[in-house]
Amino acid sequence: MRLLRFLIAILFLAAGAIVGALNRAPVVIDLAFARMPANLGVSLLVALLLGVLLGGLAISASVVLPLRRRLARAERRDASAPLSSGT
């Protein structure tokens, strides 16, 4: 399993390098308070990375955190419940 993850990581690194190498056109990113010159490939990869990170944060905030709170509440409820004898 570790080898498979390593191979997938290498595949994505190679794909990123290819995208960066094929899109070498200069672009200027205007952020209203600053202008940043960059290559198109780098801009695409940064935008993709930011989208993945923001999407992961959104899923974490909307799904994972409420489920963790629910689990903690259920564990507290089970811990405070008196143990019943099985006889």
* Domain chopping of the chain, boundaries: 18-77
Residues in the chain: 87
**What's the pLDDT tens digit per position in 42-60?**
999 999 999 999 999 999 9
Cα 85 to Cα 63: distance, rounded to the nearest angstrom: 37
d(C-alpha 37, C-alpha 61), whole Å: 33
The whole-model pTM stands at 0.73
**Cα 2 from Cα 7, distance rounded (Å):** 9
Q: Is the pLDDT assigned to residue 85 strictly greater than 90?
A: no
Contact (CB, 8 A) for 40 and 25: yes
Summarised one tens digit per residue, pLDDT across range 25-41 is: 999 999 999 999 999 99
Could you tell me which residues are beta bridge partners of residue 39?
26
